[in-house]
Structure 1
Amino acid sequence: MHLADHPARRRLSAALDNLAVTFHGMTARPDEHNCECHWGSPEELSLLKTPNVELEPDLLRRAWQATDWTDHAAVLRRVLPQFATALVAGRTEHWFGPEDAGYSFARGRWQQWPHHHARPVREFLHAWWAQSLTDPEAIVPAHQVFVMCAEASGTLRPWLAEWEKQTGYLSDRHLAEAAATWEYELLGESLPWRVGWYEHDEEEIRAELVAWLLGHAAARLRASGASADLQHRIRLLGLTGEDRWTDPHWPSHRY
């Protein structure tokens, strides 16, 4: 199969095209405003109220990252086609991590939008996640896409379910990379990313992720030949207190 014919890439391309069609002509509210000293100039603000004008990268970042819009949903719809394309291409700047982009989606409450607006957003997230797991030329690491999708949707369930369905070599490799990236914080009883949206329960998310790693992921790491050290560190998530840090395979992390 030629990479150009990769089904996940075709699906993602169609999802991006659908965003462009769905949100064509969208603008911020006519009375939208922001601090000129901290956000940008009146001329830049006017661009958000002008449909179908490409934003330069720094203005795009400031638009989706700002937390103090009167109507964040309208701003998000205005920038969404360009924002999504930049995300997939790895061209967005994250001050704190990939969760930043997810917070922008969450603040826009896209899941409460009318169906004809919410459905293309949902399809984009699912298409990007599937592509990150299966396309050898995916640009953004799968574990970063996972975090973004989790924070954008407020749940881990659909993204973990898709990971369980995708059992090929690439998906297994991404699982090992994610486990290796996350184990330090998880063994310190923290979530490996910052939860900034007040409606998301950090401890609940962490508990669900740990349970999945101890269950499905642990068995899969063994079957795919992940390193013994990594397998032990995931196993240690099932221990608590002294049993954990006195285990002979405790990695001597310091917190």
Structure 2
Amino acid sequence: MPMTHPVPHSARRRLDAALDGLAITFRGMTAHPDEHNCECHWGSAEELARLKVPDVELDHDLLRRTWQAPDWSDHPSVLRRILPQFARSLVAGRADPFCGPEEIGRSFDRGHWQQWPDEQAAAVREFLHAWWSHTLTDPAPAVPAHDLLALNTKASGTLRPWLAHWETQTGTPATRHLAEAAAHWEYDLLSDELPWAAWDDEDDEGERRAELTAWLLDHARPRLIAHGAPDELLHRIRLLGLTGPARWEDPHWPGPHRY
């Protein structure tokens, strides 16, 4: 019988506590009384009114339209209103599959949550970190690790802390997620593109790409070699360290049909 790798109780307890913390911290929050949005593009007056009543569950479609809308006059208040339910939906993998994870991260970013009062900012920060820790130890997370990394990077404005934590997680699930992420990223990175959309922060795209590439070369590749990853994947990562003709004339370059 194959061995299973259940999520450590500590990671699950931490995530549950973080979700409870959001519910307590943001209990009673509402959108601004004067908040409005276009009925043609967002929703009805009746739906808008629900955002101004605290602690009432929203249906899935209304929740999606609310976090996704980029044009609230007071996005922080709207985000605080929906955050406990939004976080539970995210952890369960119920976000709109047609919205990239970076779109979810942008909703956090638009809310400027790191500028909120200390208790509120700490609750959001703990949720993101607890969710990340849980995902890396879960053999089958609802949201793949590479998607959550894109979300957290956009939500927090930084990549390094998430990669640093991944380095400390050396169990089988985290290493398997690393191989899956590298396979997911290599096509874009070998095309000199960041493997998630960064259209609103183009100045940071090159820096993020360079940081992720360096991490794959310095940490991920040696780790994957030690765990017997496929040679093809290891060569693709190695090619990230080459530029110009040295890259595309390498015998392991996958060819113009792919890039």
The TM-score range, normalised by the shorter chain, is over 0.9
Q: 1:69 to 1:94 in 2, by over 3 A?
A: farther
Match runs of 1:232-251 below 5 Å? 232-251=235-254
Distance 1:194 1:95 in 2: 13
Say which SS state the counterpart of residue 201 (structure 1) adopts. helix
Matched letter for residue 207 of structure 1? A
Aligned equivalent of 1:80 = 83
Q: 1:5 to 1:218 in 2, by over 3 A?
A: closer
Matched letter for residue 181 of structure 1? H
Match runs of 1:193-232 below 5 Å? 193-198=196-201, 201-232=204-235
Distance 1:185 1:89 in 2: 28
Aligned partner of 1:124 among 127, 132, 135: 127
Matched letter for residue 125 of structure 1? L
Aligned equivalent of 1:23 = 26
1:103-126: per-residue Cα shift (whole Å, max 9, x none)?
000111111111100001000000
Deviation, structure 1 residue 2: 9.7
Moved over 3 A (4+): 1-5, 196-200
Matched letter for residue 14 of structure 2? R
1:48-90: per-residue Cα shift (whole Å, max 9, x none)?
1110100000000010000000010110000000000000000
Alpha-carbon RMSD? 1.6
Asked whether 1:164 is paired with 2:156, we answer: no
Q: Which runs of 5+ in 2 are unaligned?
A: none
Matched letter for residue 80 of structure 1? L
Deviation, structure 1 residue 97: 1.1
Given that 1:8 and 1:135 are in contact with CA atoms closer than 8 Å, whether structure 2 keeps it comes out as no
Given that 2:7 and 2:137 are in contact with CA atoms closer than 8 Å, whether structure 1 keeps it comes out as no
Q: 1:245 to 1:133 in 2, by over 3 A?
A: same
Deviation, structure 1 residue 94: 4.3
Deviation, structure 1 residue 96: 3.9
Aligned partner of 1:185 among 159, 184, 188: 188
Q: 1:236 to 1:2 in 2, by over 3 A?
A: closer
Given that 2:32 and 2:77 are in contact with CA atoms closer than 8 Å, whether structure 1 keeps it comes out as yes
Aligned equivalent of 2:70 = 67
Deviation, structure 1 residue 136: 2.6
Deviation, structure 1 residue 3: 4.8
Given that 2:51 and 2:78 are in contact with CA atoms closer than 8 Å, whether structure 1 keeps it comes out as yes
Given that 2:37 and 2:71 are in contact with CA atoms closer than 8 Å, whether structure 1 keeps it comes out as yes
Deviation, structure 1 residue 202: 1.0
Given that 1:106 and 1:197 are in contact with CA atoms closer than 8 Å, whether structure 2 keeps it comes out as no
Matched letter for residue 238 of structure 1? G
Deviation, structure 1 residue 95: 3.2
After alignment, is 90-99 or 210-219 more displaced?
A: 90-99
1:156-193: per-residue Cα shift (whole Å, max 9, x none)?
11100100000111111000000000000000000010
Q: 1:2 to 1:210 in 2, by over 3 A?
A: closer
Distance 2:249 2:7 in 1: 51
% same residue? 65
Q: Which runs of 5+ in 1 are unaligned?
A: none
After alignment, is 50-59 or 198-207 more displaced?
A: 198-207
Q: 1:16 to 1:196 in 2, by over 3 A?
A: farther
Say which SS state the counterpart of residue 53 (structure 1) adopts. coil
Distance 2:202 2:123 in 1: 23
Distance 1:75 1:43 in 2: 16
Deviation, structure 1 residue 251: 1.1
After alignment, is 61-70 or 4-13 more displaced?
A: 4-13
Distance 2:7 2:209 in 1: 37
Matched letter for residue 185 of structure 1? D
